[in-house]
Amino acid sequence: MTALVQENIARELGIDRQLKQGGEATEIARRVEFIKQILRESGCKSLVLGISGGVDSLTAGRLCQLAVEQLRDEDYQARFIAVRLPYKTQADEQDAQASLDFIRPDSITTTNIAACVDGLMDNIAIDGLQPSAQLTDFAKGNVKARARMLAQYAIANFSHGLVVGTDHGAEAVMGFFTKFGDGACDLAPLSGLTKTQVRLLAGAMGAPAQLVRKAPTADLEELAPGKLDEVAYGCRYDEIDAYLMGEAVSPQARQIIENAYFKTAHKRALPRVPT
């Protein structure tokens, strides 16, 4: 039964178990072609993506830039807009700038979300509720993620564009994204990849090694700045990836992954409607 659950989860998330070292060029070309197809079908003229300094946005960003360059060669005018979305001052800003240097986007713009987030949080008051400092910090983290997506959609409106997401299989199975925040987008070119595979594609495209291997963090919590994804999960990415690839993992890791998957099912579903 446990093996069946594992297989069902991998299938539902569209995990690509065929991609191994040596097949990067074919997979990069396939995903670039996917981006081109979506942009052509939409009739839109730009792709918009927030660049954080992590390997996910770095990989998706480079795929987008390759896609628009190919489209222009095919006489379809399109451009890629990379967006920096810091909250006040970002601790790893140098990594974000290194990512931009690697991606070489057509356009770069910066929107600091601090005033938006702080203004909203300062004006929320609910009679009878006194949330703890921890709950307030958690809620504010989600507001940050949603504010970033608001900014990206505004830029997409201005540029007749589509918003690109960075969700992949390892984050999807853990539900490690903000609903209607970084989980909201028009296309998700990393979908179905494990974290290992994302790094594989990034390395194959020539990304700097320190960014490819950088320990991932959402960095949304002010009470725990720089908190690593794996600390939030309670298990390692290599365990999550092994699970998604159908390999054996420890009973503890299996329980953590499956509990997270079922608990966060609502994040991966459309809004519920009457039947």
User: Given this model, what pLDDT does residue 140 score?
Assistant: 97
Would residue 75 count as lying in a domain? yes
For the chain, the domain total comes to: 1
Would residue 272 count as lying in a domain? no
Would residue 205 count as lying in a domain? yes
User: Given this model, what pLDDT does residue 1 score?
Assistant: 65
127 is catalytic: no
User: Given this model, what pLDDT does residue 74 score?
Assistant: 98
Would residue 241 count as lying in a domain? yes
Would residue 146 count as lying in a domain? yes
Would residue 214 count as lying in a domain? yes
CA dihedral of residues 64, 167, 206, 17 (deg, nearest 10): -110
Would residue 45 count as lying in a domain? yes
3-state secondary structure 118-142: HHHHHCCCCCCCCCCHHHHHHHHHH
| Cα–Cα distance measured from residue 75 to residue 66, given in angstroms and rounded to the nearest whole number | 15
Domain that holds residue 77: 2-121+129-267
Would residue 115 count as lying in a domain? yes
User: Given this model, what pLDDT does residue 101 score?
Assistant: 98
Q: What is the pLDDT along the chain (275 residues), one digit of tens a residue?
A: 688 999 999 999 999 999 988 899 999 999 999 999 999 999 999 999 999 999 999 999 999 999 999 999 999 999 999 999 999 999 999 999 999 999 999 999 999 999 999 999 999 988 888 899 999 999 999 999 999 999 999 999 999 999 999 999 999 999 999 999 999 999 999 999 999 999 999 999 999 999 999 999 999 999 999 999 999 999 999 999 999 999 999 999 999 999 999 999 999 998 999 98
CATH number of the domain that residue 208 is part of:
3.40.50.620
Q: Which of 16, 27, 95, 171 is catalytic?
A: 171
| Cα–Cα distance measured from residue 212 to residue 184, given in angstroms and rounded to the nearest whole number | 24
User: Given this model, what pLDDT does residue 20 score?
Assistant: 87
What distances in angstroms separate CA 27 from CA 18, 21, 154, 242, 248, one per listed residue? Answer: 10, 11, 31, 20, 25
Angle at 216 between CA 215 and CA 222, to 5 degrees: 115
Q: Which of 16, 27, 56, 186 is catalytic?
A: 56
